Amino acid sequence: MQPSELSDLLSPYLVPSSQSRHRLFHGRGKTLPELEWLTVDRFVPVLVATVFRSQDDDTLAGLEACLKTALGPLGCETLVIQHRYDGRVDNVVVCGELPECPIAEEAGLAYKLDFQRGQNLGFFADMAPGRRWIRERAEGKKVLNLFSFTCSFSVAALAGGAESVVNIDLSDAALKLGQQNHRLNGFQNARVHYLPHNIFRSWKKLHSLGRYDIIVIDPPSAQKGSFMVEKDYPRVLRKLHKLLAPEAEILACVNAPWLGYDWLEQCVADNLPGAEFISRLPGAEGFEEAGVPALKTIHYHYSRPPELDNG
């Protein structure tokens, strides 16, 4: 692709927005076929472009030039290009310097970014509607955050007044970053548990910490050796009746382009009696998709079936 062509296509997206969003350009949404290999995110003062397919030198040079020109108007000083293809993940600082503590700001909360992690910076901007959902209904509630990663749901829940949160994730490193996120937002003394365990071996521990008013299920779609969504999501759902309060809320999430909403809705219907579909959450600003979004998030209300107590 010629640099001038790339600039013509991309420049309209590289403008300050009145909306509070991080994703400026979402090529993965296939709304602009020529640039399906690219996304651009803004975490002031850092602009991050992710390249998902190998490009020739001219295209990369054009991309760098276009993004450097946009830095000032976007309030940024540093440009990072992440190369994520052919089994490699490289975060390259093209110009400027990374802040000592780079963060993503959202709705008055701060989430630490880690450019040493590899492909995931520790924060998923597309989950903004989910964090807003839990913040709006967490007051006084006991929350269980399954597959918590860096605990952004936990931070949002505490900002909404949650009584307590239990975070569980197989990655101890992700949970440590989650603890930093809580300190960044003044929640270091909140009632929070961080469990670096395999969920499938921890049901008794989770049960011992109480029944939960809100449960978030946000697993990886495919993590070899620990979680494969089509096989393991039903297993999680079948265990939840032992963890949920008699009346509770559930946020069921799946990030898998090959699975539609119908799969997730049928999975819940088949494996969690008492779960009533309420609504699909909207997509995050900036993550426009030509087809069904990769990320699906659905709100359910749970009422414990009487037969579970009568049998």
What is the C-alpha separation between 311 and 303, in angstroms, rounded?
17
pLDDT per residue as tens digits for the range 22-81? 999 999 999 999 999 999 999 999 999 999 999 999 999 999 999 999 999 999 999 999
Average pLDDT over the chain, rounded to whole? 94
What is the C-alpha separation between 244 and 254, in angstroms, rounded?
20
Q: Where would I find the beta strands (DSSP E) of the chain?
A: 23-26, 38-43, 46-51, 78-85, 88-95, 103-106, 109-112, 142-146, 164-168, 192-195, 212-217, 222-223, 227-228, 244-255, 275-280, 295-303
Q: Write the class of the CATH domain 125-310.
A: alpha beta
Q: What is the pTM of this model?
A: 0.94
Cβ-based neighbour number of residue 228 at 10 Å: 14
**Is the CB of residue 20 less than 8 Å from the CB of residue 37?**
no
Please provide residue 172's backbone torsions phi and psi, each rounded to the nearest 5 degrees: -65, -35
Q: Write the class of the CATH domain 3-100.
A: alpha beta
Give bridge partners of residue 85 from the DSSP assignment.
88
What is the C-alpha separation between 167 and 216, in angstroms, rounded?
10
Domain ranges for the chain: 3-100, 125-310
